[in-house]
Structure 1
Amino acid sequence: MAIDTTSSTSTPPPPVRATPDTSRLSTRDKLVLFVLCAAQFMVALDFSVLNVALPVLGADLGMSQSALQWAVTAFALPSGGFLLLFGRVGDLYGRRRLFLTGLALFGAASLLATLAWDPASFLAGRALQGLGAAAIVPTGMSLLTTTFPEGPARDRALGISGTLLSLGFTVGMVAGGVLTDVLGWRSTMALLAVFALTVLPLAPRLLPASLPHSLKDTGGAPVPHRPRLDVPGAVTVTGGLLSLIYALSTAADHGFAHADVIATLVAGVLLLTAFAVVESRAAAPLVSLPMLRRRTVAWGNVGGLVTFSMMSTVVFALTLYLQEVLDLSAFQTGLVFGVQGVMSAVAGGYAPKVIGRFGARRTLVGSLVGQGALIAALLGLNAHTWSVWLATAAVSLASMCHLGAIISYGLTVTSGVPDGDQGLATGLVTSTQQVGLTVGIPLLGVLATTSDDLLAGVHTVLALDSAIVLAAAVLVGLGLRTGRTASGSIEASGAFEASGSVETEALGAR
């Protein structure tokens, strides 16, 4: 009789190894993140550092009150208009190369604006700053998402980046007032030049080389048919975005009935419609329509557009309220927003953990609900001095929710996107940011500035702002819900599910 010896000779199971902590960043990872985040912080700073200095700047350079808007618009036009184009150029021809070019251009333009001798030279510097920013932002975000793989490491990286993005806008408001009072308006532009010239020497040594997308699968060898830039798409989308941003920026001062505003709004709509037609027929489109049909890309960007545009409107309305209704000084107003900045930084540390626990979709929707509810709390503001405490507490907590929305929408849009299309995805993310920062104040802020009763006007702005954010939360929640696509495949809606350990989901199947 044969003897069964399998039980006595079976190989013991291998020891269970602890799962490595993939959220830990190496020293080099931290340095790469520092370079990328410093550049993003610098661009965010540029959006607000000049605001307080505008009256002094105008008097020094001989710019009229009506011309001062161009100090902001000259930057916003190229920075928002060229984002999609430069995001795709980075994909096709190398992201690091374009990122470094953008940094060099931004630094040189900041020096030109610092040394400006008349309005024309100053506005030229601002426009070149915007062009440099349009190259830095999408390529910097692409380098971040391709350097840090999906999972806890990318969560942390995007958390830090989102925190500094939000903090940069707030710090700019505070620093702009202090620098202008102490050193003059030119110091605000000099600060940006120092940032750029500090980061530029470090970037080539630390940032990973990024091969053009067309060479990725060939080991760097040339391929017979290198993808070409979609020129008709680039012309129509850039022209459309430029027209739209110009119209909305001009409307803040002249109203929507102004002839220039109407003409450029119509031109923007027509050009963007033409862009959609061009992309549907292009062999190598600038924007892949299947990409836009991803639920995560489409609805994630809706959430991002709303959170940016509505929060910038709140900051604008509160600035008017604190200085015109409560008679606070510019410095005291800066302190209120300084508290907001600190709370945003705190939120940046916790947001990745929240996303890891609940997923990016739930975090995005929950953050929008929190932001809308806290903006509604600001309706309790009145003409009494104690309202400053309500303003400080509500806007700070709303900013924490706002930061959660920023990070979770960025994760939602970019997760699951192939590396070769990351420039496109992050171009959409950053276009949403720039357009959001541009459109909110013209759309709602004008209601406060044109009201006979400023406090009543501020209340109207805040009520509409809150309603829009809460409505967006509902729509984004429904749009990102898990469901079946037309092909019958399951389309995942969150970035990460909590199941004992953080696991990457398949975001928005094509």
Structure 2
Amino acid sequence: MSTTNSLPAAAHEVPRLAGRLKVVLAVLLVAQFMLAVDFSILNVALPAIGDDLGFSLADLQWVATAFALCAAGFTLFFGRIGDLIGRKRIFLGSLALLGAASLAGGLAPGPEVLIVARVAQGLATAAATPAGLALLTTSFPEGPLREKALGLNGALMSAGFTAGAVLGGVLTDLLSWRWAFFVNVPVAVAVLLVAPAVIAESRPAARPTIDLPGALSVTLGLLGVVYGLTRAGEHGRADPLALTGLLAGAVLLVVFYLVERRAAQPLVPVRVLRKRTVAWGNVLGLLLPATFLGGVGNMLVIVGFMVTATTGLPDHEQGLATGLASMSQQVGITMGTPIMSAVATAAAGGVASAGAILHGVTTAISVNAVLVLLGVLLAAVFLRRDRAYA
């Protein structure tokens, strides 16, 4: 009997996850979920932290700002470092740092120790997020398996953003704000015990030199932008320090682009930035905060922009691609709050009545929706044009 009739079905069969890959996926997803939870777990606990440790009202903002500055400012740098020295090494080291920083934050006797712990948590997140995503994309070949893995990752990240706020409130009410830090420790230890045995190292065959001018300019530029956006959200758009941070950050990012054009071994090759899947994928990552409260919509956007932003690049540049995507996501979340708050305040006309506030929030949500749709339409048009000319 001929078997040729079975060949087309086999050729179109969607590949399934093997036993080892399931464990790899589970380990990486648990780590990414923990990192997503960390973005919001302390928001509800801030008043309790201030009362317990004696933070002044002006200084309490630094519990969140110290984390956001480091998480967004160093993501691209650490993503590229993972490409150079090994993503597994960066991933494991950053999770160890996150566990230690979380323990220190939970035991903090005063504001200074807590802020140092938050800085360390931010740096660990900046390193672990792109490294974990790069290990995910390089463990699964481009196509259905990778899209499935990124889909599960997007679902857990979306759930993690929401779960963090809920879990932070529950832990603060039932136990103490300190447990919002302690909860990371057993998760980090569990991942560190399993990951070394199941995750393979991923690094290029030849190690290029690190582009220090590019690394310094992009890191300082991102720190300036994130600080300016955070400051503007807390003190208004006309705040001198906010304007200084934004201006300095913008200038340094321009310097970074000029440096990358001339560098022999750039941190971010300009050709990568010119690749439309990378460029438009990261644009979608910056519309992300608009769907932050959108449940399923948030999950779909995370999956869509991550798949797009990592498509068409070789494995040795996946750390760079995931670093760019993670940076866009974190900067987008950081700038989404002050921008939408400004829209809501302007629409409310400065009136504090319930009706005015409702009108302001509704207007901000509408602006969010328009920005998301605009970004999706532009990305769809330009990516389709790119495919047509390919």
What is residue 72 of structure 2 aligned with on the other side?
80
* 2:333 aligned partner, one-letter code: L
Deviation of residue 22 (structure 1)? 4.1
What is residue 239 of structure 1 aligned with on the other side?
220
Instruction: Give me the whole-angstrom Cα distance separating, in 2, the residues matched to 1:408 and 1:466.
Output: 17
RMSD: 1.7
Instruction: Give me the whole-angstrom Cα distance separating, in 1, the residues matched to 2:225 and 2:166.
Output: 29
Instruction: Give me the whole-angstrom Cα distance separating, in 1, the residues matched to 2:15 and 2:338.
Output: 41
Listed as ranges, the matches of 1:279-298 within 5 Å are: 279-298=260-279
Structure 1 position 248 matched with structure 2 position 218: no
Structure 1 position 309 matched with structure 2 position 205: no
Instruction: Give me the whole-angstrom Cα distance separating, in 2, the residues matched to 1:445 and 1:311.
Output: 15
Answer whether contact 2:278 2:311 (CA < 8 A) is retained. no
Deviation of residue 152 (structure 1)? 1.5
1:96-134 deviation per Cα after TM superposition (whole angstroms, max 9, x unaligned): 001111000010000010001111100100110010111
Answer whether contact 1:79 1:133 (CA < 8 A) is retained. yes
Instruction: Give me the whole-angstrom Cα distance separating, in 2, the residues matched to 1:240 and 1:89.
Output: 18
Listed as ranges, the matches of 1:204-223 within 5 Å are: 204-210=196-202, 212-215=203-206
Deviation of residue 167 (structure 1)? 0.5
Deviation of residue 476 (structure 1)? 1.5
TM-score by length of 2: 0.93
What is residue 108 of structure 2 aligned with on the other side?
116
Instruction: Give me the whole-angstrom Cα distance separating, in 2, the residues matched to 1:186 and 1:81.
Output: 26
Structure 1 consecutive aligned stretches of length 4 or more whose deviation exceeds 6 Å: none
What is residue 437 of structure 1 aligned with on the other side?
333
Evaluate the alpha carbon distance shift between residue 35 and residue 483 of structure 1 in structure 2; reply closer, same or farther with a 3 A threshold. Answer: closer
Deviation of residue 28 (structure 1)? 1.2
Which of 194, 197, 200 pairs up with 2:189? 197
Listed as ranges, the matches of 1:456-475 within 5 Å are: 456-475=359-378
Structure 1 position 162 matched with structure 2 position 154: yes
Which of 471, 475, 481 pairs up with 2:384? 481
1:340-380 deviation per Cα after TM superposition (whole angstroms, max 9, x unaligned): xxxxxxxxxxxxxxxxxxxxxxxxxxxxxxxxxxxxxxxxx
Answer whether contact 1:248 1:438 (CA < 8 A) is retained. yes
Answer whether contact 1:23 1:156 (CA < 8 A) is retained. no
Evaluate the alpha carbon distance shift between residue 59 and residue 292 of structure 1 in structure 2; reply closer, same or farther with a 3 A threshold. Answer: same
SS in 1 for 2:10: coil
Instruction: Give me the whole-angstrom Cα distance separating, in 2, the residues matched to 1:458 and 1:128.
Output: 34
What is residue 454 of structure 1 aligned with on the other side?
357
Instruction: Give me the whole-angstrom Cα distance separating, in 2, the residues matched to 1:289 and 1:176.
Output: 41
Unaligned 5+ runs, structure 1: 1-11, 216-225, 316-397, 492-510
Deviation of residue 195 (structure 1)? 1.7
Equivalenced residue count is: 380
Instruction: Give me the whole-angstrom Cα distance separating, in 1, the residues matched to 2:307 and 2:49.
Output: 39
Instruction: Give me the whole-angstrom Cα distance separating, in 2, the residues matched to 1:26 and 1:77.
Output: 39
What is residue 351 of structure 1 aligned with on the other side?
none
What is residue 243 of structure 2 aligned with on the other side?
262
TM-score by length of 1: 0.72
What is residue 174 of structure 1 aligned with on the other side?
166
What is residue 321 of structure 2 aligned with on the other side?
425
Deviation of residue 14 (structure 1)? 5.7
* 1:309 aligned partner, one-letter code: P
What is residue 185 of structure 1 aligned with on the other side?
177
Instruction: Give me the whole-angstrom Cα distance separating, in 1, the residues matched to 2:153 and 2:317.
Output: 20
Answer whether contact 1:92 1:214 (CA < 8 A) is retained. no
What is residue 490 of structure 1 aligned with on the other side?
389
Deviation of residue 94 (structure 1)? 0.7
Answer whether contact 1:45 1:168 (CA < 8 A) is retained. yes
SS in 1 for 2:183: helix
Listed as ranges, the matches of 1:49-68 within 5 Å are: 49-68=41-60
Structure 1 position 407 matched with structure 2 position 303: yes
* 1:19 aligned partner, one-letter code: A
1:66-109 deviation per Cα after TM superposition (whole angstroms, max 9, x unaligned): 22211111111111111111111111111100111100001000
SS in 2 for 1:279: helix
Deviation of residue 467 (structure 1)? 1.9
SS in 2 for 1:248: helix
More helix per residue: 2
- % identity of equivalent residues: 47
What is residue 227 of structure 1 aligned with on the other side?
208
Answer whether contact 2:77 2:219 (CA < 8 A) is retained. yes
What is residue 4 of structure 1 aligned with on the other side?
none
Answer whether contact 1:214 1:227 (CA < 8 A) is retained. no
Answer whether contact 1:158 1:411 (CA < 8 A) is retained. yes
* 1:232 aligned partner, one-letter code: P
